[in-house]
Amino acid sequence: MGEKKPEIKGTINPPPKDNKQVMLSKEEIVFELDEEGKAISQKVKVEVYDRALDDELFLTTLELDNALTMYDSVRKASKTIGERSNKELAKLNTRITDIEKLEKPTDDQKKILLESKKQLKELENSMKKDSFDTEIKLQAYMDKIKETRKDFKTLEEMRKKAIEVRQIQAIPCTVTEAHRYFQKRMYKDKGEKWIDPTDEEDTTYISYLLAEKVIEPKLTVKEWDHAKPNMRLSIKEAISEISYYSRPSPKEVLVERRRSEKLKNLIGE
């Protein structure tokens, strides 16, 4: 439980792709601005739920990817060792067959024959043991794959059922603000000076972000400090979304893609 959670960073979302080659308009590129050139607040849908479920889903995905990777590694290693052993097995069988064909083998050839038969027996026993051990490992990883896949689906269902949709009035972040708030976890003081977090666990920036960007309901920094955790995190994510700042990191996308590809091969999805 005391294990440190992996850092989840975000990136600025690219504009949506459109197969039609339509010229972009100014309205599509920039946020709607007021007379002072500042972004206008908008109604924002907030999905309120325990955001710890997102971290559990992320960790479960990593567990699943690790099990899939280990399954592939064991299978490939077993195949390589098996091919090497089969070559050695073929050599020993050929040597034994060639000597046994001789009408009058020499004493040295008789010794080689006995030694080769001994090596053949040892190699066959070793191959049987390796095969047995590999099957046990593969089954263990397959069980883990199925278990974590089931956990993943359960967590997704839990999150879906837990979501309560609410609405706020909020202003999106600029590119610079989004980078400083969500990536660097910085926040602005009353003099508009950006302050660095004290450490990796410092979440002071959330209250400052929400106090600045949430117009309705309007709360102070101190009031946001006392807000319910699921509310703080859910509204923070909503601000992130309207600012076109995505939470998943490239690593998460890679993990998800690998998970999907391997599951299709192994479990027949």
Q: How confident is the model at residue 17 (pLDDT cuts 50, 70, 90)?
A: low
Mean pLDDT of 141-161: 93
Is the pLDDT confidence value at 260 over 80?
no
Full residue range of the structural domain in which residue 189 is found? 38-261
Give the pLDDT score at 256: 63
Residue 124 lies in a domain: yes
Residue 200 lies in a domain: yes
Higher pLDDT, 246 or 175: 175
The rounded distance, in Å, linking the Cα atoms of 223 and 126 is 69
Give the pLDDT score at 251: 53
The rounded distance, in Å, linking the Cα atoms of 188 and 221 is 11
Report pLDDT digits (tens) over 205-252.
Answer: 999 999 999 999 999 999 999 999 899 999 999 999 888 886 655 455
First-to-last C-alpha distance (Å) of the chain: 32
Residue 44: enclosing H or E segment and its boundaries? strand 42-48
**Structure tokens that stand for 263 in this block:** 């599951």
Report pLDDT digits (tens) over 60-70.
Answer: 888 888 898 89
Residue 52 lies in a domain: yes
Give the pLDDT score at 22: 77
Residue 98 lies in a domain: yes
* CA R_g for the chain: 31
Residue 173 lies in a domain: yes
Residue 248 lies in a domain: yes
Count of domains forming the chain:
1
Is the pLDDT confidence value at 20 over 90?
no
Mean pLDDT of 166-187: 92
